[in-house]
Amino acid sequence: MTDSKAAAAAPHSNFIRNLVAQDLADNKHQGKIHTRFPPEPNGYLHIGHAKSICLNFSIAAENNGHCNLRFDDTNPAKESVEFVESIKNDIKWLGFEWSGEVRFSSLYFDQLYNFAVELIEKDKAFVCSLNAEQMREYRGSLTEPGRSSPDRDRPIKENLDLFARMREGEFGDGELSLRAKIDMAAPNINLRDPVLYRIRHVHHHQTGDKWKIYPTYDYTHCICDAIENITHSLCTLEFEDHRPLYNWTLNSLDSAGLKRVSDLADSPDTYVLPEQTEFAKLKLNYTMMGKRNLKEMVETEVVSGWNDPRMPTLAGMRRRGFTAASIRNFCESVGVARSDSVVDMGMLEHTIREDLDANASRVMCVLKPLKITLTNISADEVVQLSMANHPKYEEKGRRNVPFTREVYIDRSDFEEVPPNGFKRLIPGGEVRLRGCYVIRCDEVIKDDSGEVTELRCSVDKNTLGNKPEGRKVKGVVHWVSASEGVEVTVRLYDRLFTVENPGSKEYEDYRSNLNPNSLVTLENCVIEPAALSSADESNFQFEREGYFCLDDIDSSASKKIFNRTITLRDSWSGK
């Protein structure tokens, strides 16, 4: 069963939900709904995969059904256990639980091989000696039919012998392949005798060195769906042209044999084969989500790794501070359609802002500290001020914020020669320290180069919780105690690319579109101690600065690092 804690916003009606509802009304699958999420373990999952995860698991949950996690591990040269584990972690983090044990396509390799033998015996598959380049030449084009392989009429007995020897490893990589025998003149190129098996002498992360031949995705996927009793095989639109091959493969095999392998003890005599339905994948501007692009960025060190907070991977977004709820709600709000479209990054950013605005506790952190000495506060005085953790929800509790003689404010909150409209601290002017007193700047201290190093100010002690008498103070600035605050490192993350379609062919190299300010690291920031005393919270709003989270990978006991999740307001809409 899927986990009920993964409930997002109220589900929107879409054509897949309508299809499932109709199938249930028709009792098409005896009232059962069974979906699957079938990732290839050749990289980390990204936000596009989240849409598929949410759809497959939610469709099952909404209909009291099941959703399998099945790894499409048919290309071991690009796969690893690291990717397997990262995918499992991402699904759990999103709030979903798969039905039963984790499955792998490789668990069915023996059955897949036997079904391939069945196709050969039915004269629906043959062993081909064309190499990849020759095969492309013979395939034809969208306007020209293909030509049959010279091996297409190879005798069945010879095909069976060669296929068995392929399995035993007698031939080199690419020397032979097993191809379906369909129609070389088919308008759909996917039906022009597609490859079912290829020779690869590669160690497999699940089966070791047992196999020297590996099935293709198109051949494997539909059979695994049938074996696992999947009722609705939900795929993205690029697989629409592959659906005829999905159906051909299943309809070419003995359905009784598929039923037997699936171990349906309570199955009726009529076995309903799974059906593939396609939906538009999630495309997001200002990013690239192809695994090939992401892998290249990792390998060429454009980013620090798959979980770099600027990456669109779920691991990267989690590290940056995106919440599982915000991603689920985003995927639901995007909807499920039949045609491709590009979603604006601002929509994703709005979703996380909305989530964190409601749920993140408030703390104060000074990113660029400027020291203030409060001359009429004694050196040993420490006042614990009580402040709400959230301005709207008193149930989130309160925290103690230490107030001392020396505090830090942000350098941007003081101007010796203020521009028009500046409403913060100036020489002789007053501001309120947030949740605290009104202070007046009495003296500006500079170093030999003329840089301001300290402000000496006085406190109006009658203004704690009260308005000053006879004057109006407009400015409010955040602050942190110099002696009680904790020094931290803050990473200011922003969009990785400066253009909406960085991978467009109009650009010679996507690197030319990298945002030079996608990561700005600030050392010697100072945060109030409450942000480090709560073991249950990692997401915060730094007042007046944005939403941040503690980086649990790079932080240590002696050095805490906070990552900016998102700014308080959209800074890109006017660009």
Per-residue pLDDT of 220-248, as tens digits, reads 999 999 999 999 999 999 999 999 999 99
Whether the per-residue pLDDT at 352 is higher than 80: the answer is yes
Q: What is the pLDDT of residue 5?
A: 40
**pLDDT of 268 over the 70 cut:** no
The residue with greater pLDDT, 294 or 574, is 294
Indicate if the pLDDT at residue 11 is higher than 80: no
pLDDT digits (tens, 9 = 90+) for 457-480: 999 999 998 998 888 898 999 999
Contact by Cβ (8 Å): 326, 352: yes
**Does domain 366-483 sit in CATH 3.40.50.720?**
no
For residues 411-415, give the mean pLDDT: 97
Quote the CA–CA distance of 544 and 435 in Å, as a whole number. Answer: 13
**How many angstroms separate the CA atoms of 140 and 143, rounded?**
8
Question: Within 10 Å of residue 212's Cβ, how many Cβ atoms?
Answer: 18
SS3 497: strand
Share of the chain above pLDDT 70, in %: 96
pLDDT tens string 110-149? 999 999 999 999 999 999 999 999 999 999 999 999 999 9
- What are the b/e assignments for 400-431, b being 16+ CB within 10 Å? ebbbbbbbbbbeebbeeeeeeeeebbbeebbb
pLDDT at 264 over 60: no
Distance (Å) of CA 370 to CA 379, 453, 477: 18, 7, 12
Q: What is the pLDDT of residues 53-76, one digit of tens each?
A: 999 999 999 999 999 999 999 999
- The CA-atom distances, in angstroms, between 125 and each of 143, 158, 261, 305, 529 are 25, 12, 21, 43, 69
Report how far residue 214's alpha carbon sits from residue 166's, in angstroms, rounded to the nearest whole number: 10
> What does pLDDT average to over the chain?
93
Please give the Cα distance from 67 to 226 (Å, whole number): 14
Instruction: Report the pLDDT value the prediction gives residue 9, as an integer from 0 to 100.
Output: 54
Q: Is residue 377 packed enough to be buried (19+ CB in 10 Å), middle (13-18) or exposed (0-12)?
A: buried
Domain ranges of the chain: 4-108+218-345, 129-216, 366-483
Cα separation of 413 and 406, whole Å? 16
Token pair belonging to 537: 């919270």
| pLDDT score for 265 | 46
Q: What does the pLDDT average to over 382-407?
A: 95
Cα distances (Å, whole numbers) of residue 380 to 165, 370, 404, 433, 530: 86, 21, 8, 20, 21
Q: Tell me how far apart the alpha carbons of residues 34 and 569 are, in angstroms, rounded to a whole number.
A: 42
Report the pLDDT value the prediction gives residue 147, as an integer from 0 to 100. Answer: 97
How confident is the model over 96-106, as a mean pLDDT? 97
Res 269: pLDDT: 55
CATH code of the domain occupying 4-108+218-345: 3.40.50.620
- Rounded CA separation 197/216 (Å): 6
Query: Which of the four pLDDT bands, split at 50, 70 and 90, describes residue 262?
Result: low
Q: Is 182 exposed, middle or buried (0-12, 13-18, 19+ CB in 10 A)?
A: buried
**pLDDT higher than threshold 90 for residue 537:** no
The count of C-alpha atoms lying within 13 angstroms of the C-alpha of 173, restricted to the half-sphere facing its C-beta, is: 4
**Dihedral angle sign, alpha carbons of residues 117, 118, 120, 121:** positive
> What is the rounded average pLDDT of the residues 16-44?
95
- Asked if residue 340 has pLDDT above 60, the reply is yes
Give domain 129-216's CATH superfamily. Glutamyl-tRNA Synthetase; Domain 3 (3.90.800.10)
pLDDT at 8: 47
- The DSSP output letter for 169 is T
Does position 505 have pLDDT exceeding 50, yes or no?
Answer: yes
Q: How many residues does the chain have?
A: 575
Residue identified by tokens 């200002």 is 286
